[in-house]
Amino acid sequence: MPQTGPLKADVVIIGAGSAGMSAYKSARNFTDSILVIEEAHYGTTCARVGCMPSKLLIAAAEAAHHAHHAGRFGIRVSQVGVDGRAVMTRVRAERDRFVGFVLEDVEGWPEAHKIKGSARFTAPGRLLLDDGTAIEAGRVVIATGSRAVWPSAWDALGDRLIINDDVFDWDDLPGSVAVFGNGVIGLELAQALARLGVRVKLFGRSGRVGPLTDPAVTDAAHAAFAAEYRFTPNAQVVAVERQGDAVVVTEQVDGHEIEERFDYLIAATGRRPNLDRLGLEHAGIALDERGTPIGWDRHTTRIGDSVIFLAGDAAPDAPLLHEASDAGRIAGENAARFPFVAPRHRRTAIGVVFSDPQIAMIGQSHAQLEQAKTSFVTGTVDFTGQGRSRVAGRNVGRLNIYAHRVTGKFLGAEMVGPAAEHIAHLLAWALEADRSVQQMLDSPFYHPVIEEGVRTALRAARDAMDATSPAHRPCLDCRPAA
């Protein structure tokens, strides 16, 4: 019989990205009364326009970079050419392959569970689709993701204004690009395009470099990047306008106004959660001044005492695939098992920027420790002279490790340097295991490896603790020191 009246489901999931897909799989373990509403594309931001296509572009850039610099090892490369069309053909083809795997997963879901369209609340537990369909939901999981934002004045740039999503649909590489935003996306794209022969300038305004908060590590990162391409972390931009098919950026430099023309402006100036179009006020959800739901619990993903759960990039959480998947799993389970709502463990914070040198953030940042007035010491290694890094010609960067001044517990780290993506995992696992600096030093370190730099930083942290309070610091592990 045809459907009459509103659709009904125990669990309604809005959004079918990383968090939404994870929520669906989790909820299906407890109920088959599920609806997933998706207004655009099924699949993840990571596969379509994020993690994977950006790494494909970076891989091509690294190949070109290594070929250009092979001479320092005595290897003569007569000519290095970048075929922009071939680069982008591979990026798009492999991107589509990754997306295909995600779509195959969604295609296996029952058709009765999938609805195309946009939804908004009309009352607690009631949703209305853009085609007029009403839905009654026992519980709702919001996994609507986020979207890029930029100054409204830039709208006048028309098709010369693009975001990272657009880059991966290019047929060829442009001649020049202005990248605005010195966060993760801006850093990765600016360097990759520069290495592929595009004239690039990266404009920031915060003075920061990616997610780094430690001034010493930030300085090391800026020095490394600025030596390779033009990067101003605190640019004084006077005007951005379109002239013909070009974007003209006027910048104040040393008291003088300098104009430069670019083919495109890439806006990597931040993202906002896709919550403003959901009518959350009709669901009884209070929002703060930034439009974020008040009372959201990261460990249950529940908003206050409501029957609404929030997960993924739409939540005030780290915008990372593994965090979105974890949050989606928690949201789906708690929504399906409601009123039983259980807090779940969230993983140790870890973040990586796939620049060269790479950036890594583990656990508590320098800024968080300072803000909390934590008593901590810093152990440092400068990779300039680190053995294996120097052998490979990757001896750039700095690692700062933070440890509690009294207990010796490892608290977190910030790093720019070689193999940061791998070192970050070792440090995150140590933090997850609640290890002390001494216990970490008692772990094995092979020779010669880049990880020996971690040991150098750990030793420096231990020495700093010994220098400040050797008589009062407890013996956490009295085995022979490393």
The pLDDT tens digits for 128-146 are 999 999 999 999 999 999 9
- Strands 134-142 and 7-14, by their bridges, are parallel
Residue with more model confidence, 415 or 270 = 415
CATH topology assigned to domain 350-468? Enolase-like; domain 1 (3.30.390)
In percent, the amount of the chain with pLDDT more than 90 equals 79
Helix (H) or strand (E) holding 96: helix 84-107
Mean pLDDT rounded to a whole number for the chain? 92
pLDDT tens digits for range 227-242: 999 999 999 999 999 9
Average pLDDT of the residues in 463-475: 70
Tell me the sheet residues that pair with 230.
Answer: 201
CA 481 – CA 465 distance, rounded (Å): 14
pLDDT at 470: 55
Predicted confidence at residue 218, as pLDDT, reads 97
Q: Cite the residue boundaries of each domain of the chain with CATH code 3.30.390.30.
A: 350-468
CATH 3.50.50.60 location in the chain: 7-148+272-337, 152-269
pLDDT digits (tens, 9 = 90+) for 297-319: 999 999 999 999 999 999 988 87
Strands 146-148 and 256-262: unpaired
Per-residue model confidence (pLDDT) at position 472: 46
Residue 68, helix vs strand vs coil = helix
What pLDDT, on the 0 to 100 scale, is given for residue 165? 86
pLDDT band for position 413 (cuts 50, 70, 90): very high
pTM: 0.92
Task: Tell me the pLDDT band of 473, cut-offs 50, 70 and 90.
Answer: low
Record the tokens describing residue 425, joined without a space: 């995992």
Q: How big is the chain by its Cα radius of gyration, in Å?
A: 25
Residue 8 sits at φ, ψ, to 5 deg, of: -130, 145
* Helices (H), ranges, 338-451: 366-371, 387-391, 420-432, 437-441
Q: Helices in 303-393 by DSSP H: which ranges?
A: 321-337, 366-371, 387-391
Question: Once rounded to an integer, what is the mean pLDDT over residues 364-393?
Answer: 96
Q: What is the pLDDT of residue 318?
A: 81
411-422: average pLDDT: 98
Question: Which of the pair, 69 or 46, is modelled with greater confidence?
Answer: 69
Look up residue 252 and give its two tokens: 């104040």
Query: Does the pLDDT value for residue 388 go beyond 70?
Result: yes
Q: Residue 411: which pLDDT band, with cuts at 50, 70 and 90? A: very high
Does residue 367 carry a pLDDT above 70? yes
What is the model's pLDDT at position 2?
47
- Please write down the HEC assignment for all residues of 138-200: EEEEECCCEEECCCHHHHHHHHHEECHHHHCCCCCCCCEEEEECCCHHHHHHHHHHHHCCCEE
> What pLDDT is stored for residue 53 in this prediction?
84
Q: What's the whole-number mean pLDDT along residues 173-194?
A: 96
- Give the β-pairing of 7-14 and 34-38: parallel
Banded model confidence at residue 45, pLDDT cuts 50, 70, 90: low
pLDDT at 49: 58
pLDDT in tens, 63-73: 999 999 898 99
Arithmetic mean of pLDDT, 310-337 = 91
Residues of the chain by 3-state class (helix, strand, coil), percent to 5: 35, 25, 40
**Range 31-41 average pLDDT:** 92
pLDDT beyond 90 at 477: no
The mean per-residue pLDDT over the stretch 358-375 comes to 97
* CATH topology assigned to domain 152-269: FAD/NAD(P)-binding domain (3.50.50)
Q: Is the pLDDT of residue 33 over 90?
A: yes
Position 244, amino acid: G
Beta strands in 236-349 (DSSP E): 236-243, 246-253, 256-262, 264-267, 271-273, 308-310
Q: Write the class of the CATH domain 7-148+272-337.
A: alpha beta
